Amino acid sequence: MSFAACTVRQRWVDAHVVLPRRIRDPRFTSVQTFSPRNHLHAFRLRTPEDVDGHVRAWLADAYEVGNQRHLERPRPRVGPGR
């Protein structure tokens, strides 16, 4: 299952992650819901510093979605961006 994607542009990177819940963050340019446990969150990275703890947490959660671990049992919400 696809869990994340990046498109490299000349001056930025457009990316998205599929997360098991909707997250509010001003960096998301759009959020699309495909099912109760699959929400695509799109965002743009302009500098390496944009890859902060929140983005790393989103990627880690998205990886779990890709492995379909989000279907096994609820996980407690901890850490940045959760």
Q: Tens digit of pLDDT for each residue in 13-72?
A: 999 999 999 999 999 999 999 999 999 999 999 999 999 999 999 999 999 999 888 777
Q: Which helix (DSSP H) or strand (DSSP E) does residue 17 occupy?
A: strand 13-19
Q: What was the pLDDT predicted at 67?
A: 87
Q: What was the pLDDT predicted at 77?
A: 64
pLDDT band at 75 (very low <50, low <70, confident <90, very high): low
The edge-to-edge listing of strands for the beta sheet with 4-8 is 4-8, 13-19, 38-45, 28-35
Q: Which helix (DSSP H) or strand (DSSP E) does residue 59 occupy?
A: helix 53-66
CB 66 within 8 A of CB 3: yes
Rounded Cα gap, residues 1 and 80, in angstroms: 24
Q: What was the pLDDT predicted at 68?
A: 84
